[in-house]
Amino acid sequence: MSKQLVIVESPAKAKTIEKYLGSSYQVMSSFGHIRDLPKKHLNIDVNDNFKPTYEVSDDKKKVVSALKKAAKESEQVWLASDEDREGEAIAWHLCYALGLDPKTTKRIVFHEITKSAITEAIKHPRVIDINLVDAQQARRILDRLVGYELSPVLWKKVRPQLSAGRVQSVAVRLIVEREREINSFTPTSEYRVNAQFKLEDTQLPAELNTRFKNLEETKEFLEGCIGSKFTVSKIDDKPGKRTPGVPFTTSTLQQEASRALGFSVRQTMTLAQKLYENGIITYMRTDSPTLSEQSLGNIKDYVINTFGQDYYHRRQFKSKHSSAQEAHEAIRPTDLSIDKVQDEGQNRLYNLIWRRTVASQMAEAKLAKTEITVTVDKRKELFLAKGEVVIFDGFLKVSGRATKDILLPKLSEGQNLDYDQIIGRQNFSKPKPRYSEASLVKKLEELGIGRPSTYAPTISTIQNRGYVEKTDLEGKERPVETITLSNDSLSETVELENYGQDKSKLLPTPTADVTTDFLMKNFGSIVDYDFTAKAEKDFDLVAEGKEKWQAMLQKFYSDFHELVIKSDSVTREESTQTRLVGKDPKSGEQIFARYGRFGPMLQKGDAADEDKKPAFASLPKDTTIESVTLEQALEMFSLPRIVGKTDDGQEITANIGRFGPYIKIDKTFISIKPLDPLSITEAEARTYYLENKEKLSKKYIKEFDSGIKIVNGPYGPYVTDGKKNGKIPKDTDENKLTEAEAKEILAKAPAKKRSFRRKKK
């Protein structure tokens, strides 16, 4: 029995390829990387040419032993991991884990999963490209060095458990700097003027080609309009066009799914993974917009058969980003005749992919654009009316992009017009927008930072480490001045406009501010926006065999490590941005604002004073280390504040704690976000107390005499004895559960996992 073993990265891929290759081939998958640097410790000997220690990852032990067994039973092994840096390294690691010779083992690659591509690949095997492997090792080791030398500096200088890395620290920096830009932004305003001209049975809306600096200039213009003659001076007809979008890559799919469907980056990837596993779409982690020749042919047939020859237009695509490795093709349907999938979320995403793919091979939409110019005889400014009508829909037939025709009325040059009304309205400038998950991914891709498989995890990491919070922001109101000309008389009004609302945006926490400042000051070269791009150039030199990876790393590391050593002399006072706010008039003690172990805080008294422990308090709402005043600080030290009594006579106190403002009744803490403990009234506090009581009454379904409780938890009802929790089976009614049954569930439940909570004093 002569067997051929082909090893790919993805199990879904393995299934498809096996079909194409026939029975003498067995196709297995490695499930991605199989060996890595162990998580604990650096595992790189910086004194011995950066010698790495690799080991088979825990979760890959089973996979590796299965592959080993299959390899032994095979006559020939074919390493078919992806054709990129990581894929080459996977092939190389496989050689070591399976006991194969990396110099002779057959290595094959293909960019698309089609029968012809795969049989062609089998005909042209090569051996592992060790230069490409070395480029991957350089990338891997550099990331480990940066991550594992920089993070401990943060533990010491800023706060434990923090992390830093080539990708995440830049992502955080982007968000921090954008927020600062927004906060220091002062809106300016200008005045736009819009006219409605009267026609027999319709109106002509037009906007003035000039914007005025202030209300006076606007008023002067409108006064000049009184008694003026308005004349159609020019009617300009121009052709226009619209082009379809490029087939999806991971990043553009995430952006479009967010824009059109409101999906988070993670949601999109989970749904896409399902579609891929079911064979509905091609691989979803790709940086290439390229369509395979075979799929181009299929789309061509589909478009011509469905819409006709006029609607077809062939286009092929290449990535604009130099960092792209293009090991896969674009994300597209595997079979265009599938137009629906069962699951609703998957179906919505699939629809997006289907439409984008087909539209990319369709003709441009043709538009007829019209611009009508209206002159005002006493003024040099012009009114412009713009119209746009689709005369050939082309790709718009399937793209799903809404287009609205703006049809202008038929007019002739020289024709005079009367106005119905002319309105001048104040218009404020806006700061750059905050980053959303999707726009952050877009920015990172532009900078060449991160890879398709890491966008979603990176967004999770910066949130889990407490650098970023996904937040909705309430808007504020501001007055907007409007001046209207109607029937030759002017009237001024002031309206209120809502501005500054934001939904699901990434906001930096104080931790992000302090950490970014620290990194910028002491490790500027690492958080530089070009750091990755520069490193990539070096990796390319290694991949081309022009430089040894050890030499490349040595150059990087000697500079980097020096920064690490130098950073040791930064005082905690500096890294925590300690600021003297003032003196307590009562005790004369100094009050500081600074960044503490749990975020920004206030400190009264000097820590160096051995006799007296300093007092601590939270920062008041909407203040920062820089902005908090002495008055505000003193108020915070007056907390906790006695608010009053509950109707059953218990004392209510209010304070701010780790999780924000709260009230306390006996031993119960109740969060009062967004209220302020300094201003909450007794009545408000009582309402919170009652609501809390009601919630608690619903939490416990039943309590047995033995102390065993049936509780309504966030994942469904469960049984607890205080030490262990047990899940109630779905087919059991929690309301009818007997004590004996509850005990049985508890007996079977696994011991509570050890939590990593901090030890209490």
Name every residue whose Cβ is closer than 8 Å to that of residue 446 and which is 6 or more positions away in sequence.
321
Q: Which of 102, 125, 500, 599 binds DNA (CB under 7 A)?
A: 599
Shortest CB 81 distance to DNA, Å: 8
**Kind of pairing, strands 668-671 and 660-665?**
antiparallel
225 or 459: CB nearest DNA: 459
> What mask, x for binding DNA by CB under 7 A, covers residues 250 to 289?
-----------------------x--xx-----x-x----
Per CB under 7 A, contacts with DNA among 3-32 are: 9-13, 29, 31-32
Q: Which of 74, 105, 137, 163 binds DNA (CB under 7 A)?
A: 163
Q: Which of 394, 452, 466, 508 binds DNA (CB under 7 A)?
A: 452
User: What's the burial of 481, exposed, middle or buried (CB within 10 Å: 0-12/13-18/19+)?
Assistant: middle
Shortest CB 596 distance to DNA, Å: 4
Q: Which of 3, 20, 36, 336 binds DNA (CB under 7 A)?
A: 36
Task: Decide if 633 contacts 591 (C-beta within 8 A).
Answer: yes
Q: Tell me how far apart the alpha carbons of residues 728 and 749 are, in angstroms, rounded to a whole number.
A: 10
Q: Tell me how far apart the alpha carbons of residues 692 and 188 are, in angstroms, rounded to a whole number.
A: 46
**Kind of pairing, strands 4-8 and 76-79?**
parallel
Q: Which of 244, 247, 424, 450 binds DNA (CB under 7 A)?
A: 450
Shortest CB 573 distance to DNA, Å: 9
Shortest CB 582 distance to DNA, Å: 19
* 652, β-bridge pairs: 644, 665
Q: Which of 144, 178, 505, 604 binds DNA (CB under 7 A)?
A: 144
Q: Which of 70, 336, 563, 749 binds DNA (CB under 7 A)?
A: 749
Does the protein bind DNA through residue 572 (CB under 7 A)?
Answer: yes
Q: Tell me how far apart the alpha carbons of residues 362 and 297 are, in angstroms, rounded to a whole number.
A: 13
Q: Which token pair is 320?
A: 């604009």
Shortest CB 210 distance to DNA, Å: 49
Neighbours of 617 (CB within 10 A): 19
Task: Decide if 402 contacts 380 (C-beta within 8 A).
Answer: no
Does the protein bind DNA through residue 639 (CB under 7 A)?
Answer: no
Shortest CB 44 distance to DNA, Å: 10
Per CB under 7 A, contacts with DNA among 168-187 are: 168-169
Shortest CB 450 distance to DNA, Å: 4
Roughly what angle, to the nearest 10 degrees, separates helices 61-72 and 85-98? 70
Of 294, 296, 336, 334, the residue nearest 315 (C-alpha): 296
125 or 657: CB nearest DNA: 657
Q: Which of 157, 397, 442, 451 binds DNA (CB under 7 A)?
A: 451
Peptide bond into 508 cis (omega under 30): no
40 or 124: CB nearest DNA: 40
Q: Tell me how far apart the alpha carbons of residues 366 and 368 are, in angstroms, rounded to a whole number.
A: 7
> What mask, x for binding DNA by CB under 7 A, covers residues 216 to 255?
----------------------------------------
9 or 256: CB nearest DNA: 9
Q: Which token pair is 692?
A: 């809390």
CA distances 206 to 349, 371, 373, 381, 418, Å, are: 39, 10, 9, 12, 13
Q: Which of 92, 557, 662, 688 binds DNA (CB under 7 A)?
A: 662
Q: Tell me how far apart the alpha carbons of residues 195 and 176 are, in angstroms, rounded to a whole number.
A: 42
Question: How many binding residues for DNA (CB under 7 A)?
Answer: 88
Q: Tell me how far apart the alpha carbons of residues 286 and 113 are, in angstroms, rounded to a whole number.
A: 14
- Nearest 10 degrees: CA dihedral of 243, 244, 247, 253? 110
* 406, β-bridge pairs: 388
Shortest CB 558 distance to DNA, Å: 19
> What mask, x for binding DNA by CB under 7 A, covers residues 710 to 739?
-x-xxx--x------xxx------------
152 or 245: CB nearest DNA: 152
Does the protein bind DNA through residue 143 (CB under 7 A)?
Answer: yes
> What mask, x for binding DNA by CB under 7 A, covers residues 318 to 337?
-------x------------
Give the binding range for DNA (CB under 7 A) out of 197-205, 254-262, 410-418, 659-667.
Answer: 659-667
484-521 residues labelled b (16+ CB within 10 A) or e (exposed): ebeeeeeeeeeeeeeeeeeeebbbbbbbbbbbbbbbbe
321 or 401: CB nearest DNA: 321
Helix (H) or strand (E) holding 664: strand 660-665
595 carries an active-site annotation: no
Q: Which of 88, 137, 147, 258 binds DNA (CB under 7 A)?
A: 147
Q: Tell me how far apart the alpha carbons of residues 215 and 424 are, in angstroms, rounded to a whole number.
A: 8
DSSP letter (8 states) at residue 141: H
Per CB under 7 A, contacts with DNA among 86-105 are: 86-87
CA distances 254 to 12, 15, 331, 345, Å, are: 21, 26, 11, 14
Peptide bond into 614 cis (omega under 30): no
Task: Decide if 618 contacts 598 (C-beta within 8 A).
Answer: no
Shortest CB 586 distance to DNA, Å: 20
Q: Which of 607, 642, 690, 696 binds DNA (CB under 7 A)?
A: 607
47 or 659: CB nearest DNA: 659
> What mask, x for binding DNA by CB under 7 A, covers residues 667 to 706?
--x-x-----------------------------------
Q: Which of 106, 173, 332, 465 binds DNA (CB under 7 A)?
A: 465
236 or 573: CB nearest DNA: 573
Give the binding range for DNA (CB under 7 A) out of 210-218, 377-385, 494-502, 606-614.
Answer: 606-614
Q: Which of 37, 441, 485, 506 binds DNA (CB under 7 A)?
A: 37
* 601, β-bridge pairs: 594, 618
147 or 394: CB nearest DNA: 147
166 or 505: CB nearest DNA: 166
Does the protein bind DNA through residue 84 (CB under 7 A)?
Answer: yes
Does the protein bind DNA through residue 53 (CB under 7 A)?
Answer: no
6 or 385: CB nearest DNA: 6
Q: Which of 96, 155, 499, 700 binds DNA (CB under 7 A)?
A: 155
Q: Which of 123, 404, 613, 754 binds DNA (CB under 7 A)?
A: 613
Shortest CB 303 distance to DNA, Å: 30
570 or 711: CB nearest DNA: 711
Q: Tell me how far apart the alpha carbons of residues 224 and 90 are, in angstroms, rounded to a whole number.
A: 75
DSSP letter (8 states) at residue 58: G
- Residue 750 CA, chain-centre distance (Å), reads 36
Q: Which of 96, 185, 428, 598 binds DNA (CB under 7 A)?
A: 598
14-27 residues labelled b (16+ CB within 10 A) or e (exposed): bebbbebbeeebbb
At residue 512, φ and ψ (nearest 5 deg) are -65, -40
Q: Which token pair is 706?
A: 């033995």
At residue 332, φ and ψ (nearest 5 deg) are -150, 165
123 or 723: CB nearest DNA: 723
Catalytic residue selected from 283, 350, 419, 662: 283
Catalytic residue positions, numbered: 283
